[in-house]
Structure 1
Amino acid sequence: MYIFKEFSELNIKELKNEIEKERQLIKDIKAGKIYKEQKELIKVILFIVESPNKVKTISSFFGRPSIRNIGGLSVYEVSLGNMYLLITASKGHILELTTDNIGLFGIERKDGIFYPYYNTIKKCLSCGSQFTEYKDGKCPYCGSTNVDDSINRIKALQELAMEVDQIIIGTDPDTEGEMIAYSLYLVLYPFNRNIKRAEFHEVTKTAILNALENLRDIDLNLVKSQVVRRIEDRWLGFSLSQIVQKYFNKNWLSAGRVQTPVLGWIINRFDERNKSKSYILELKLENDRKLYIDTEVKNRREINKIIKNIKDKEINIVDYKEEKEEIQPLPPYITSTILQDANNILKIGVDRIMQILQELFESALITYHRTDSTRISPLGISIAKDYISQKFGENYFIARSWGEGGAHEAIRPTRPLDVDMLRNSIENGEIDVYINMTRYHYIIYDLIFTRFIQSQMKPVSVIKYTEKIKIPEINKEIELSGVKDVIDHGWDLIFPFRINIMKIQPIQNGVKIVEAIGKKVPKVRLYSQADIINLMKEKDIGRPSTYAMIVKKVMERGYVINKSNNLIPTKLGIEVYNFLEKNFGDFVSEKRTRDLEEIMDKISENKEDYRKVLESIYDETNMIIEKGKNIQKE
């Protein structure tokens, strides 16, 4: 209801003062200042995420941000109406276990209690080395003074903390992200006690707003799990690495709980391959079809005899069956499966693939990529329905959640945009991304999008055949199968590759062999990086956040080389593994590693006392150190 007054009744001076006060208040908000009046009008929040790319993406959801610099830290400021966000990045971890000579590798034990000592993280911008201790501001590796110290970010964040009403930490939704959040909490709590955690699994406007409305406290069980895992890595890694370095007189060598079994898999596969060579017959038929037959023949003279006698002979069909079958779609990607497919297709390292996935996530193009869950949320299902209905028709859509419960989803796109639509949207300026979108980014996005969409489509109905054939000169029957015809299309409309490799026409009775070639090849192929990721997943050692790092580490140490996407152990790698297996096999066995992974999960669920676990690992580490003292160079 409006009340009209005569102009003479107004106090112009007082009205003018109120207007000026409001104008000044708006200026102060934009400058990040806090006043009593401001608190009554709008809530000012410091929103901390990990990466500058994520800062730019989030701020772009709420209009054009203003930007200021606090102690070298870029702060993006946006208004959400009822709150004013100051968005900035911690740039990952800000604290790390010290390498100073304190306790047992930086963890002190007093009266049965363990005290881990942390320091700020320093990174040399000249040589790329990372460390916690240095003298005179110089890199201990190359002597450069061009060093980035996280203490500078901490001080800037502390200055910002005093300006705002509340601090919200929005780091990644996993144990590493929870530890980063807890470290930020510790350094900022003395300056502002109103600190909350925001959790989101995709960087979209809806997800961010939902996270800001559903804040939680930091999950200390996840923090305990990360701290115990980090201490275990430090204790076992440092103790074994020092022993290995001394024994082989090479100070760059390392050993670890997961690293050692992985190295063993690669070595064992290499040995198995070298022992498994036999002849394969490549047969060319008169209809131009080729067959590859494993003969198990290892003698050249014997295979030549078979080749001589087999030419112009006919293949006989012993048995033939046809049946109708529905082929179901594959589940959407999780970390291990996207790493496998991207590695096999692109032939690039899994560490580079993880970097691309991180960038796609931070650019609001995919959901969080470190996940073991195939679950799809109702929002994800609606994205698939929107795309499938428009592209193929709603009758091709079948909603599948692929799992129940849990916070994590599978890896999926955040919009109903295929790779061509995405490329056009970026090039036309409809979508802003703050990364360099290479062809690898687009290919990996296309893999994720296609796999997700097919997972929400109806099955493909086919005529499938199975036939048993007998080849002359080879005393065994061979079973072949394939898809003869597609009766009713489904997911194959967007994912044709998978159905195409199944579409192989059956061999007709009496078809002749026109040519035969014998090739001596290994029955067992070498592992690729993708295979190792799959094994870690199957054997339950390592986690989505560590898969790529473990593979990268065995190559960086010179234990393994990657040749044509095959992992080949080096002489050094074989020697180090044999040494560890002989002397410390019980500590680095696959079973012990898997058991510890399960214990870490129990700590995160508050089902295991982290102090007892640390006590056990502490005793184990001291046993390793004592045993190492008695090992003599052979």
Structure 2
Amino acid sequence: MKNLVIVESPSKSKTIEKYLGKDFEVVSSKGHIRDLAIKGKDGLGVDVENDFAPSYSVSKEKKDVVKDLKARAKKVDQVYLATDPDREGEAISWHLAQVLGLDVDDVNRVVFNEITKDAVLGAFDHPRTIDMGLVRSQETRRILDRIIGFKLSKLLKNKIKSKSAGRVQSVALKLIVDREKEIKAFIPEEYWTLDAIFNKDGKEFNASLAKINGKKAELKNEVDAKAAYEACLGEFEITNVKKQVRKKEPKLPFITSTLQQEASTKLGFSAKRTMSIAQRLYEGIELKSSTEGLITYMRTDSTRLSDVFIKAAHEKIVDDFGKDYLGNYKVKNDENSQDAHEGIRPTNLANTPEEVKDYLSAEQYKLYKMIYARALASLMAPAKTNTVAVTLSQNKHDFTANGTELAFDGYLAVYSDYESSKDVILPELNEKETMNAKELKSNQHFTEPPLRYSEARLIKQMEEEGIGRPSTYSMIIDTIQARGYVSLEKSTETSKTKVFFPTEQGELTTEKLDQYFNDIINVKYTAQMESELDGIADGETDYVKSLRDFYNRFEPLVDHAYENMEKIEAEKVGEACPECGNDLVYRVGRFGKFISCSTFPECKYTRKIEQPEKEKPEPSGKMCPECGAELLKRKSRYGNYFLGCSNFPKCKHIENIEGEEAPKFRRKAAKKK
């Protein structure tokens, strides 16, 4: 008896075929084999008047793949569909069944969460039918995206020359544009802090002003700071010493979104790169004696772990660290999570990062090491820290000093590379003890605007708002960059983290969508649609009614926009194209604004726009009171001018153009805590 197994990935097929043996042939569909056709009214491939009936067509690049699959299917006794364990994978299996003429009620759907011999063989012992709830949910999502994408993209191309719009991508863009508006509208507010340095038994420690007359200390200007400074020139008394033990719980295993966030902040990987590396780790790595998937399926929003893994992890924790390091199993899934499979974890704890390092690339090793450590740490005991909070009072001004000392490392025994625990040791301090401050320092600060979105922050925001799904975050981020709506770059010369800046075209696109489609392109409605898609998957929501309600709301908005949205012509440069003589115009691409021929694509002439030189610092004629170097007149990121030391970054002295530096006070820009 010969069996044909169809999976999505070619590399996965090789691994699985080794497990199943000679009676099984494993081949790849190379992803989706067909999509909505581009025909019918508006080219949607959807019959809106007939309950949104879809029309599908095999994509051009997959015709040979489908032909080959049909030929192979005719030669075997049984065809198994073993595509990925999510909605997209379920939909691909259904499309394969349709194209190959398989009975959708046949028990031929095989699902496994990890590519290991035991998991794969176990899955083939328990095949099931195709889950039509998941298929309908994916199909509804695709129809929604097609209707919104085609109709909005056509409108925006015609009216404002934007390349595309989408149900989720436009909401992600709106988050970035709205954040930029907040930053531009932000007005910094001045505030001051007062710190004291004490010394006892040869140990220095710092304390900060926390309360004045029992209320939170708020020093809004230099006058307030100077008054507090002068009030604290006498002897301090220790009025309270509070000691306690604090627990720091380990984080839960990775899900797709948290993996992308941590890989961005800890490893410097983009979301797209992270998913590509994780895909390879999941599909199989050739080790010394076998080919094995090293991690479970990486598209998941569940933190659940299998009983088998928990048992193995507990045994390893006890063997490596002792019983004191054993923690409790915890699982916390968002109300929107599908819980279709486990969190992201290693498939075999015997495959430690060091054991498999020689078989992995540098990037694969870094990501696998973090996944391995996170999964194991999630089942370990919390770390314990001895803390002491000391209050030093003088003239009704209360200063606080905090000390911490790690008492038990717990889960940090395996996760310390990704979470630091720094000890701050205070000398022995007792209530009613008195001491004088060695030094008082008053520092000027200004409040900072909200941070721009990095990839990690944007993914976290989308997850919290319930827009998109973990498997789509990487694609969304890639799309809004490819359309020229945002750029990802460093915010300052010293910043290591790249953040999103909206382009002019991105801001214009959001402005017009806000004006004409605010009822559809917003966080709340997009999150609501995700919930409806979950309901369709569970069989609780009727997909036709969901599509009908959406369309009846959306179509009038499109008609109104066509009638009322102003058409913007491309801005002319004022030069003739050197190749064809027609007008040159400004356009916006993935990497920002550029110059192109107005007849594109007939004439493909393009060139970059020459950027003006950055405004250079100017000598001020004043000298720095801290180091003696000259102060330079500089322009801040907000467009304001200030005087800064020419010896920066060794000397960080700054002052306003109008003001003078007070002799006993040091000015320092910092983020408000």
TM-score by length of 2: 0.71
Counterpart for residue 180 of structure 2 = 270
Instruction: Provide Cα deviations, 1:193-221, integer angstroms capped at 9, x if missing partner.
Output: 96611011111111100110000011111
- Whether contact under 8 Å (1:297, 1:303) holds in the other structure is yes
Residue 451 (1) aligns with residue 374 (2): yes
Equivalent residue for 1:121, pick from 39, 44, 59? 59
For 2:487 and 2:528, the matched residues in 1 are separated by 29
Residue 223 (1) aligns with residue 142 (2): no
Counterpart for residue 616 of structure 1 = 549
Instruction: Provide Cα deviations, 1:52-95, integer angstroms capped at 9, x if missing partner.
Output: 11112223335xxxxxxxxxxxxxxx32xxxx110111111010
Which amino acid in structure 2 is aligned with residue 595 of structure 1?
Answer: Q
Counterpart for residue 529 of structure 1 = 455
* Residues 1:279 and 1:526: Cα distance change in structure 2 (over 3 Å): farther
Instruction: Provide Cα deviations, 1:218-246, integer angstroms capped at 9, x if missing partner.
Output: 11111000000000011012211222222
Tell me the secondary structure at the aligned position of residue 277 of structure 1.
coil
Counterpart for residue 524 of structure 2 = 591
Give the drift of 1:324.
2.0
Tell me the secondary structure at the aligned position of residue 343 of structure 2.
coil
Give the drift of 1:615.
1.7
Counterpart for residue 250 of structure 2 = 329
* Residues 1:399 and 1:209: Cα distance change in structure 2 (over 3 Å): farther
Instruction: Provide Cα deviations, 1:461-496, integer angstroms capped at 9, x if missing partner.
Output: 331334557799xx986767563341x342121122
Equivalent residue for 2:485, pick from 559, 580, 591? 559
Equivalent residue for 1:383, pick from 294, 298, 312? 312
* Residues 1:469 and 1:494: Cα distance change in structure 2 (over 3 Å): farther
Which amino acid in structure 1 is aligned with residue 27 of structure 2?
Answer: T
* Residues 1:465 and 1:249: Cα distance change in structure 2 (over 3 Å): same
Write the mapping of 1:246-265 to structure 2, written as runs, cut at 5 A. 246-250=158-162, 252=163, 254-265=164-175
Counterpart for residue 352 of structure 1 = 273
* Residues 1:289 and 1:120: Cα distance change in structure 2 (over 3 Å): farther
- Whether contact under 8 Å (1:161, 1:191) holds in the other structure is no
- Whether contact under 8 Å (1:492, 1:499) holds in the other structure is yes
Counterpart for residue 58 of structure 1 = 16
Which amino acid in structure 1 is aligned with residue 11 of structure 2?
Answer: N
- Whether contact under 8 Å (1:334, 1:372) holds in the other structure is yes
For 1:203 and 1:95, the matched residues in 2 are separated by 26
* Residues 1:518 and 1:219: Cα distance change in structure 2 (over 3 Å): same
- Whether contact under 8 Å (1:225, 1:610) holds in the other structure is yes
For structure 2, the 5+ residue unaligned runs are 211-216, 285-292, 430-434, 491-497, 568-673
Give the drift of 1:150.
0.2
Deviates more, 1:454-463 or 1:283-292: 283-292
Tell me the secondary structure at the aligned position of residue 470 of structure 2.
coil
Give the drift of 1:172.
0.7
Counterpart for residue 99 of structure 1 = 38
For 2:539 and 2:104, the matched residues in 1 are separated by 28
For structure 1, the 5+ residue unaligned runs are 1-42, 63-77, 123-148, 427-436
For 1:261 and 1:471, the matched residues in 2 are separated by 53
For 1:246 and 1:303, the matched residues in 2 are separated by 58
- Whether contact under 8 Å (1:315, 1:513) holds in the other structure is no
Equivalent residue for 2:504, pick from 571, 575, 580? 571
For 1:310 and 1:559, the matched residues in 2 are separated by 54
Deviates more, 1:289-298 or 1:228-237: 289-298
Instruction: Provide Cα deviations, 1:249-269, integer angstroms capped at 9, x if missing partner.
Output: 24x2x2222223322222232
Give the drift of 1:345.
1.6
- Whether contact under 8 Å (1:276, 1:524) holds in the other structure is no
Tell me the secondary structure at the aligned position of residue 329 of structure 1.
coil
Counterpart for residue 423 of structure 2 = 503
Deviates more, 1:321-330 or 1:406-415: 321-330
- Whether contact under 8 Å (2:238, 2:390) holds in the other structure is yes
Instruction: Provide Cα deviations, 1:129-167, integer angstroms capped at 9, x if missing partner.
Output: xxxxxxxxxxxxxxxxxxxx1010000000000111101
For 2:107 and 2:69, the matched residues in 1 are separated by 13
Deviates more, 1:598-607 or 1:495-504: 495-504
Deviates more, 1:460-469 or 1:320-329: 460-469
Deviates more, 1:369-378 or 1:310-319: 310-319
Deviates more, 1:560-569 or 1:279-288: 279-288
Give the drift of 1:47.
0.7
Instruction: Provide Cα deviations, 1:293-316, integer angstroms capped at 9, x if missing partner.
Output: 9998887x7799799989999988
Deviates more, 1:437-446 or 1:597-606: 437-446
Give the drift of 1:457.
1.2
Counterpart for residue 413 of structure 1 = 346
**Aligned-pair Cα RMSD in Å:** 3.4
Tell me the secondary structure at the aligned position of residue 564 of structure 2.
coil
Which amino acid in structure 2 is aligned with residue 346 of structure 1?
Answer: L
Give the drift of 1:557.
1.8
For 1:96 and 1:297, the matched residues in 2 are separated by 62
- Whether contact under 8 Å (1:225, 1:603) holds in the other structure is yes
Which amino acid in structure 1 is aligned with residue 531 of structure 2?
Answer: E
For 2:390 and 2:171, the matched residues in 1 are separated by 41
Counterpart for residue 372 of structure 1 = 301
* Residues 1:550 and 1:303: Cα distance change in structure 2 (over 3 Å): farther
* Residues 1:573 and 1:54: Cα distance change in structure 2 (over 3 Å): same
Write the mapping of 1:482-501 to structure 2, written as runs, cut at 5 A. 483-486=404-407, 488-497=408-417, 500-501=420-421
- Whether contact under 8 Å (1:165, 1:194) holds in the other structure is no
Counterpart for residue 207 of structure 1 = 119
For 1:240 and 1:288, the matched residues in 2 are separated by 64
Equivalent residue for 1:174, pick from 66, 86, 90? 86
Give the drift of 1:609.
1.1
For 2:332 and 2:348, the matched residues in 1 are separated by 21
For 1:557 and 1:227, the matched residues in 2 are separated by 25
For 2:4 and 2:394, the matched residues in 1 are separated by 74
- Whether contact under 8 Å (2:104, 2:129) holds in the other structure is no
- Whether contact under 8 Å (1:381, 1:399) holds in the other structure is no
Give the drift of 1:535.
1.4
* Residues 1:500 and 1:482: Cα distance change in structure 2 (over 3 Å): farther
Give the drift of 1:290.
7.6
Instruction: Provide Cα deviations, 1:384-413, integer angstroms capped at 9, x if missing partner.
Output: 134323322344233515269954111101
For 2:44 and 2:370, the matched residues in 1 are separated by 43
TM-score by length of 1: 0.75
Which amino acid in structure 1 is aligned with residue 55 of structure 2?
Answer: Y
Counterpart for residue 543 of structure 1 = 469
For 1:179 and 1:50, the matched residues in 2 are separated by 12
For 1:310 and 1:60, the matched residues in 2 are separated by 79
- Whether contact under 8 Å (2:300, 2:341) holds in the other structure is yes
- Whether contact under 8 Å (1:377, 1:401) holds in the other structure is no
* Residues 1:317 and 1:601: Cα distance change in structure 2 (over 3 Å): farther
For 1:471 and 1:258, the matched residues in 2 are separated by 56
For 2:124 and 2:472, the matched residues in 1 are separated by 29
Which amino acid in structure 1 is aligned with residue 505 of structure 2?
Answer: L
Give the drift of 1:595.
1.1
Which amino acid in structure 2 is aligned with residue 630 of structure 1?
Answer: E
* Residues 1:586 and 1:514: Cα distance change in structure 2 (over 3 Å): same
Counterpart for residue 13 of structure 1 = none
For 1:471 and 1:359, the matched residues in 2 are separated by 62
Tell me the secondary structure at the aligned position of residue 215 of structure 1.
coil
Give the drift of 1:611.
1.4
Deviates more, 1:325-334 or 1:359-368: 325-334
- Whether contact under 8 Å (2:192, 2:219) holds in the other structure is no
